[in-house]
Amino acid sequence: MNEPRQLHHLVEAHPLLFRGLHPAVMSDLPAGWYDLVDRLCSDIESVLGPTACQRIEVKQIKEKFGALRLYYSLDDRSDLHIDRFSPDGVQHEVIQSGPSDPEGVEAQIRELVDAAHAASAETCRICGSTARLRNVGGWMTTLCDTHLAARRAR
């Protein structure tokens, strides 16, 4: 399944979350991460419940620095995402914006998104197998040994 088709399938599979609309910003969903994102969407729907899903808008789904990113706004609040390079790798920081969230819903959703981000750095973007975040020709990508060998053979 190619990436735009997978994104379309994800939107159809989660009508409460997406309301039939693709993310506002051009997005892609690597095949190996489909199950990870599908599970994330189901978990977000569980946190919000059927009526509160209208509070969230998925802005973009993509790969950045070899890992999954899902950007969203909740009640018109969006976060600022900052990536820094260090000797230990890419450090991702999220700065919260907007008023506080007394119900703690935003914190729960952020925790789910962060967990999916971390899991994607150990999941092959092509096949979904166990993988590692790697530098391939100057590009960060998460590949299993089989797909790393194939990429290097090209």
Tens of pLDDT along 72-85?
988 876 666 566 66
In angstroms, rounded to a whole number, what is the distance separating the alpha carbons of residues 105 and 108? 5
**Is 139 inside any structural domain?**
no
In angstroms, rounded to a whole number, what is the distance separating the alpha carbons of residues 48 and 53? 6
Amino acid at site 27: S
Q: Could you tell me the residue range of the domain that residue 36 belongs to?
A: 3-120
**Is 144 inside any structural domain?**
no
Q: What per-residue confidence (pLDDT) applies to 23?
A: 94
- The HSE-up count of residue 133 (CA atoms within 13 Å, CB side) is 16
**Is 23 inside any structural domain?**
yes
**Is 65 inside any structural domain?**
yes
Please count the structural domains in the chain: 1
Contacts of 120 (CB under 8 A, 6+ apart): 33, 36, 63, 67, 68, 142
Q: What per-residue confidence (pLDDT) applies to 154?
A: 82
**Is 58 inside any structural domain?**
yes
Q: What per-residue confidence (pLDDT) applies to 137?
A: 87
- The HSE-up count of residue 137 (CA atoms within 13 Å, CB side) is 6
Q: What per-residue confidence (pLDDT) applies to 138?
A: 86
**Is 149 inside any structural domain?**
no
* Residues in the chain, pLDDT under 70: 1-3, 77-87, 89-102
**Is 26 inside any structural domain?**
yes
